[in-house]
A and B are shown apart, each in its own frame.
Chain A
Amino acid sequence: MSIAIPALRTSAPLRIAAGIFLVGWLVVAAFPLFWIAALSFKVPLDAFSTNPLDVVLGPRTAAAHGGISVQSLLPLVGIIVAWAWQRRNDLTRRQKYIRIVATSFVTVLVLRAVVDAIGGPLTRPLFGITWEHYYEVWVGHAFYRQFINSAIVTAGVVCVSLTAGTLAGYALARTSTAFAFWLLIAALVFRALPHSVLLAGYLPTLINSQAILAPLWHWQATAWFFQLFTPEAPTLYGRILPVILVLVAINQPFTIWMLRSFFSSIPVELDEAAQVDGCTQLQAFRQVIMPVMWPGVITTGLFSFLLAYNDYLVTSLLLDQQSQTMVPAIAQFLNSENSAADQIQAIAAAVSITAPLFLLVMVFQRQIVSGLTAGAVKG
């Protein structure tokens, strides 16, 4: 695109220095995560070995539980080779998939024959792997319960927050009154508010909610309605629903700001055209604006997801044992961190929490980057 100017090209020493710096950063960025992942698959003797190579390769784990050999990695190699080879051709998507399947099949067969011919060291496990800690965490400690709670909280927060947020973000992007301005400023201040400040308000109210809400259940005009749900006023402490609403409200200032900046980038002429054609504002929003807004909604949803999924402060205070989510529940493993096996279980739980986030970045990298810059570039 741009014309190459010799002076713009980076000099070799600078280029090498930048490369070393970048590689150094990548190691620092990935190492803690790689390390806990490696630890979580090893028996304690390997995991706490003083030789780091033992932790990665796990010889004792391999002896006791087996592991991954070169042979068992062959399908993966086959798929990578086939995919890399097919990338070059410009085929239709369907042809491409057929070719990838066919090529990987052939590659695996060929490699398999080679490996079998050599035999010996290639069929022996290279990395020791054991799933016992994960089994203990998910089955033994019933971590799936916390996983379900986390899933409910996260899904609830994303849905409620996006529904309320798109409406408000759209309205604020299409209005420039002083009221709208002050609303946005108030949202900015709320965004800066430390969450513990609000918790000091929620906690007594939720614990005493039965006494506070009782009049609604006894006053005749409203009693019939509320008694449809429960015969008596509920205690809201330890319930998931109030936690969802609390997290939505805490996150709403941020959601509104982000969605507003996405809506602002959609030309207002689009609304006007729809309204000339006889749409009401709500119809224009639903049938014309929303279809082109999906990238922005997905991006904002990702950040709502992260907030709800990563929260420790709110969930650890407002939920009880039965309704606990994954992140605060990890404390239960930390407290019993007496034996080496307990400690690796805590690590396995931590890796279990991180794995979905890892997948999230893999799939939505582009949206996350666009979300991080949305507020900054458009102001």
Chain B
Amino acid sequence: MRGRVFLGFIAPSLVLMIIFIALPLVSVAWQSFHATQGVFEDVLVESCTPGFLTQTCVKEMQSRPVMQAGVAVTSTRFVGWDNYRQLLQPDAVADAFSPTGHGMSAVLNIDFYNALRFTLSFTLITLPFIVGLGLLLALAVDDIAHGLRGPVIFVTLLPYIITPVIGALAIRWLFVGDGVLTDAIRWITGHDVSMFAQGWTIELMMLFYRIWHIAPFAFVVFYAGLQTVNKDTIEASVIDGATRMERLRYVIIPHLMPLIVFVTMIHLMDSYRVFDEVVGFAAHAYRISLQWLTYSFLTPDQTGNRAVARASASAMLTMLGIVVLLLVPLRRTWRDHRGKS
């Protein structure tokens, strides 16, 4: 395809991606080093109260917002790393690790580190479960009668296709105060367990939700991969006396390896973005994620202000994280590409 024609074909997508992805990124980077504040002016105000014989008058300096045509005037100035410092609080971290500090627990009280800790452990803990459950499901479905496969795949797809916030809510409703599973737990253990009163139970539910939600995706990919396993290799391994476990380990898993890498990559990207769970489980009092942190800065507070500068700083840090996460696979792609050409 000639260069000019090629450009014509990709132009609509390219324009959209430049305007709505590249430019916003530049403006976020710019915002993260600036602070916008209302301009205040000091005015000498004389206020008098009626008194005996003469009025009592007090003159004082008052600061009030400058208004222009009914809108508060704002000014934006360069503040260097201030926004980042507010987020990362290096002094508090240094304090925590000083001899008199409280160590890691004090650091995790700072929103950013709390979010970072949760996002990373969420990503890493769910990964083996999703790959494992997906693989087991694929092997099990591959073994049942053909007529049953369609309905089984249908039911399996439901958790994947459902709106994440709604899926999280559906599971939350099972565990709320009078939910059916709360009753079941009470009946089995004889204790009242309230799942929403402490952080770790909420975190457990969020992990469970994510595995429930994404395992079907891993299942479909692995199941498709199983259909292309070379039958001859399997038969040869049987003749060589390989047991079922050995066949799985030395024939099937190596065949699925590229797909396992693919699912891992997609999962890393997607669960690093964890957000809907925090909303669905109303977990923000105990557990927050990096995306939720930025989101909460962007939502207006009681006075209607949005902390755009701090949101930008936290967005930049979030982006830094995903770049670090992708660096290894991207370097491999680059080497492959150079090797080919």
Q: Would you give 11 A-B contacts (Cβ < 8 Å), ordered by A?
A: A33-B159, A39-B173, A168-B10, A174-B1, A180-B6, A196-B294, A197-B315, A198-B24, A199-B298, A249-B16, A357-B163
Q: Which residues of A contact B155 (CB under 8 A)?
A: 26, 29-30
Q: Which residues of A contact B314 (CB under 8 A)?
A: 200
From A168, A197, A372, B319 is in contact (CB under 8 Å) with A197
Q: Which residues of B contact A188 (CB under 8 A)?
A: 330
CB closest chain-A residue, reference B306: A203
From A2, A15, A200, A373, B221 is in contact (CB under 8 Å) with A373
**A7→B235 CA distance, assembly (Å):** 9
By the criterion CB–CB under 8 Å, are A171 and B6 in contact? yes
Q: Which residues of A contact B3 (CB under 8 A)?
A: 177
By the criterion CB–CB under 8 Å, are B169 and A192 in contact? no
Interfacial residues of chain B within 236-275, with CB under 8 A of chain A in the complex: 238, 244, 258-259, 262-263, 269, 272-273, 275
Q: Which residues of A contact B169 (CB under 8 A)?
A: 330, 334, 346, 350
By the criterion CB–CB under 8 Å, are A198 and B6 in contact? no
From A15, A55, A334, B143 is in contact (CB under 8 Å) with A15
Q: Which residues of B contact A368 (CB under 8 A)?
A: 157, 161
**A335→B217 CA distance, assembly (Å):** 32
| 10 pairs of A and B residues whose beta carbons are closest in the complex | A201-B24, A249-B20, A171-B9, A168-B13, A164-B12, A196-B294, A373-B224, A32-B170, A197-B315, A192-B269
Tell me if B166 is interfacial: C-beta within 8 Å of chain A. Answer: yes
Task: Report B1-42 CB contacts with A as 1/0, cut-off 8 Å.
Answer: 101011001101110110111011111100100000000000
Q: What is the CB-to-nearest-CB distance from B223 to chain A, in angstroms, rounded to a whole number?
A: 8
Interface 9-residue window, one of A90-98, A116-124, A359-367:
A359-367
In the complex, which of the residues A205, A249, A357 has the most CB atoms of chain B within 10 Å of its own CB atom? A249
By the criterion CB–CB under 8 Å, are B16 and A252 in contact? yes
By the criterion CB–CB under 8 Å, are A32 and B10 in contact? no
By the criterion CB–CB under 8 Å, are B221 and A26 in contact? no
**A50→B183 CA distance, assembly (Å):** 7
Interfacial residues of chain B within 168-213, with CB under 8 A of chain A in the complex: 169-171, 173-174, 178, 180, 183, 212
From B165, B235, B315, A327 is in contact (CB under 8 Å) with B165
Give the interface residue-count category, chain A. Answer: 35 or more
Question: How many residue pairs between the two chains, A and B, have CB atoms under 8 Å in the bound complex?
Answer: 280
**A175→B10 CA distance, assembly (Å):** 11
Q: Which residues of A contact B158 (CB under 8 A)?
A: 29-30, 33, 358, 361
Interface 9-residue window, one of B96-104, B122-130, B146-154:
B146-154
By the criterion CB–CB under 8 Å, are A194 and B312 in contact? no
CB closest chain-B residue, reference A21: B140
Task: Report A181-203 CB contacts with B as 1/0, cut-off 8 Å.
Answer: 10101011111111111111111
Q: What is the CB-to-nearest-CB distance from B2 to chain A, in angstroms, rounded to a whole number?
A: 8
Given the contacts A29-B159, A347-B173, A196 and B137 also touching, CB distance less than 8 Å:
no
Interfacial residues of chain A within 129-184, with CB under 8 A of chain B in the complex: 163-165, 167-168, 170-172, 174-175, 177-178, 180-181, 183
**A138→B235 CA distance, assembly (Å):** 59
Q: Which residues of A contact B159 (CB under 8 A)?
A: 29, 33
Q: Which residues of B contact A172 (CB under 8 A)?
A: 10
Given the contacts A164-B16, A194-B322, A256-B13, A369 and B220 also touching, CB distance less than 8 Å:
yes
Q: What is the CB-to-nearest-CB distance from B321 to chain A, in angstroms, rounded to a whole number?
A: 9
Q: What is the CB-to-nearest-CB distance from A121 to chain B, in angstroms, rounded to a whole number?
A: 27
**A205→B23 CA distance, assembly (Å):** 11
CB closest chain-A residue, reference B20: A249
Interfacial residues of chain B within 56-82, with CB under 8 A of chain A in the complex: none
**A335→B112 CA distance, assembly (Å):** 26
By the criterion CB–CB under 8 Å, are A200 and B298 in contact? yes
Given the contacts A198-B21, A204-B31, A312 and B308 also touching, CB distance less than 8 Å:
no
By the criterion CB–CB under 8 Å, are B16 and A33 in contact? no
Other A-B contacts than A202-B24, A310-B165, 17 sampled, CB-CB below 8 A, are A22-B144, A25-B137, A26-B152, A30-B158, A32-B170, A33-B170, A163-B12, A168-B13, A201-B24, A201-B28, A327-B163, A350-B166, A360-B161, A361-B161, A368-B157, A369-B224, A376-B225
Q: Which residues of B contact A365 (CB under 8 A)?
A: 150, 153-154, 157
By the criterion CB–CB under 8 Å, are B212 and A28 in contact? yes
By the criterion CB–CB under 8 Å, are A198 and B262 in contact? no
**A362→B155 CA distance, assembly (Å):** 10
Q: What is the CB-to-nearest-CB distance from B172 to chain A, in angstroms, rounded to a whole number?
A: 9
Tell me if B89 is interfacial: C-beta within 8 Å of chain A. Answer: no
By the criterion CB–CB under 8 Å, are B6 and A199 in contact? no
From A30, A256, A281, A330, B166 is in contact (CB under 8 Å) with A330
Q: Which residues of A contact B315 (CB under 8 A)?
A: 194, 196-197, 199-201
